């Protein structure tokens, strides 16, 4: 009897894995503005109108990276297989010939964040207006890696800052940051605070885990710019009773901008527990700290 039961469990387990791995995913490439394109992923034959949209911005210091790189494509496909529609967007690489180093003037860095937020907002407006793309317009989750994460955070949380006020406001349900930070977490308030998942290395030498200078530039450098990382942002969300997951590697560095693409189970749990099931609201605040290796 035990042998039979074990055999049945093994068959069920194998079938479950086989089912997810073989879900067919459709991919559609669209131009959302000028020459900027996005890839829209959706599971074939699914009830897409009920699905949330996960919108991804790749990393690369606003100088490199692709919406359809190996990491990005695998991530988007896997998340679509888990039951989401996913969009991965290209955006202006404004620092292509002037990297975001300590020699890059602070005003240029700020303008870079603003330009990225403009592109992200335009992509969101475009997607929302495409009636042939079926997804739940009330459940849009922004995700970004490194430069993409910084863009996501600034669009979501700094809309009251005069430099971002001109950008089209799009309602979002949550955000996901891989090794990202923002200029000033005090702009997170009751009107814009949405649940967040942060994945970060505590020893990141480019983007602070707490509060610190961008690239840890010294104060006399032209590119000195203070940033608030996930620890500081999480503390702000906690004060506002807005839920968050903080996943961190005590010894990790900026590699988590790429390694986080593999943490699809944590991402799926965050979206399912907080965004979709609405198990957590401002009235029943929940935070979770996850130690990564």
Lookup result for tokens 């944590």: 266
CATH of residue 66: 3.40.50.1820
Say how far apart CA 244 and CA 230 lie, in whole Å: 10
- For the chain, the straight-line distance linking the first and the last C-alpha, in angstroms and rounded, comes to 40
Name the band, by pLDDT with cuts 50, 70 and 90, for residue 284. Answer: low
Is the predicted pLDDT of residue 261 greater than 90, yes or no? yes
Q: Is 7 helix (H, G, I), strand (E, B) or coil?
A: helix
Say how far apart CA 137 and CA 191 lie, in whole Å: 19
How many structural domains are present in the chain?
1
Name the band, by pLDDT with cuts 50, 70 and 90, for residue 8. Answer: very low
Instruction: Name the nearest CA neighbour of 103 among 214, 8, 222, 193.
Output: 222
Output the pTM of the full model. 0.90
Q: Is 275 helix (H, G, I), strand (E, B) or coil?
A: helix
Higher pLDDT: 17 or 31? It is 31
C-alpha pair distances (Å), 275 with each of 34, 200, 243: 33, 21, 10
CA atoms 145, 151, 155, 159: torsion sign: positive
Establish if 262 belongs to a structural domain: yes
Say how far apart CA 100 and CA 119 lie, in whole Å: 18
pLDDT, position 66: 97
The pairs formed by 8-15 with CB atoms below 8 angstroms and a separation of 24 or more are none
Establish if 92 belongs to a structural domain: yes
pLDDT, position 47: 65
Instruction: Name the nearest CA neighbour of 102 among 18, 280, 237, 221.
Output: 221
pLDDT, position 278: 63
Alpha helices in 83-139 (DSSP H): 106-129
Name the band, by pLDDT with cuts 50, 70 and 90, for residue 169. Answer: confident
Q: Going edge to edge, which strands form the sheet with 53-57? A: 25-33, 36-43, 85-89, 53-57, 140-145, 174-178, 196-201, 244-249, 287-291
Establish if 25 belongs to a structural domain: no
Q: Are the C-beta atoms of 191 and 169 separated by less than 8 Å?
A: no
Is the predicted pLDDT of residue 14 greater than 60, yes or no? no
pLDDT, position 248: 96
pLDDT, position 21: 59
Give me the mean pLDDT over the 5-21 stretch: 38
Establish if 57 belongs to a structural domain: yes
Residue 172, domain extent: 30-291
Give me the mean pLDDT over the 118-129 stretch: 97
Is the predicted pLDDT of residue 185 greater than 90, yes or no? yes
Establish if 19 belongs to a structural domain: no
Establish if 21 belongs to a structural domain: no
Question: pLDDT digits over 93-114, tens only?
Answer: 999 999 999 999 999 999 999 9
Is the predicted pLDDT of residue 10 greater than 50, yes or no? no
Establish if 71 belongs to a structural domain: yes
Q: Which residues are CB-contacts of 202 (< 8 A; sequence separation ≥ 6)?
A: 209, 248, 249, 250, 251, 252
Is the predicted pLDDT of residue 64 greater than 50, yes or no? yes
pLDDT, position 276: 85
Name the band, by pLDDT with cuts 50, 70 and 90, for residue 286. Answer: confident
Establish if 132 belongs to a structural domain: yes
Give me the mean pLDDT over the 47-52 stretch: 77
Helices 106-129 and 147-157 meet at what angle, rounded to 10?
Answer: 70
Say how far apart CA 197 and CA 144 lie, in whole Å: 11
Higher pLDDT: 283 or 57? It is 57
Say how far apart CA 201 and CA 197 lie, in whole Å: 14
Mean per-residue pLDDT of the chain = 90
For 201-212, b/e burial (b = at least 16 CB within 10 A) is bbebebbbbebb
pLDDT, position 20: 55
């Amino acid at each position: 009897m035990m042998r039979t039961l074990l055999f049945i469990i093994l068959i069920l387990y194998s079938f479950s894995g086989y089912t997810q791995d073989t879900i067919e995913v459709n991919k559609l490439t669209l131009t959302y503005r000028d020459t900027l394109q996005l890839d829209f992923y959706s599971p074939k034959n699914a009830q897409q109108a009920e699905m949330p949209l996960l919108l991804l911005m790749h990393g690369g210091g606003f100088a490199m990276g692709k919406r359809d790189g190996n990491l990005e494509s695998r991530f988007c496909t896997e998340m679509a297989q888990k039951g989401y529609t996913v969009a991965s967007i290209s955006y202006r690489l404004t620092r292509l010939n002037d990297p975001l180093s300590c020699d890059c003037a602070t005003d240029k860095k700020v303008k870079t964040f603003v330009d990225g937020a403009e592109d992200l907002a335009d992509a969101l407006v475009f997607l929302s207006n495409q009636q042939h793309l079926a997804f739940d317009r009330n459940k849009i989750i922004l995700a970004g890696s490194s430069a993409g994460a910084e863009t996501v955070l600034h669009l979501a949380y700094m809309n009251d800052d005069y430099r971002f006020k001109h950008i089209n406001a799009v309602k979002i349900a949550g955000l996901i940051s891989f090794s990202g930070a923002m200029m000033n977490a005090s702009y997170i308030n009751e009107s814009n605070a949405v649940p967040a998942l942060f994945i970060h290395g505590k020893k990141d030498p480019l983007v602070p885990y707490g509060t610190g200078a961008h690239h840890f530039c010294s104060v006399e450098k032209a590119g000195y710019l203070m940033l608030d990382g996930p620890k500081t942002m999480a503390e702000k969300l906690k004060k506002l009773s807005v839920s968050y997951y903080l996943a961190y590697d005590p010894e990790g560095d900026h590699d988590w901008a790429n390694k986080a693409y593999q943490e699809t189970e944590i991402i799926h749990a965050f979206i399912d527990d907080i965004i979709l099931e609405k198990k957590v609201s401002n009235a029943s605040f929940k935070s979770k700290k996850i130690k990564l290796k």
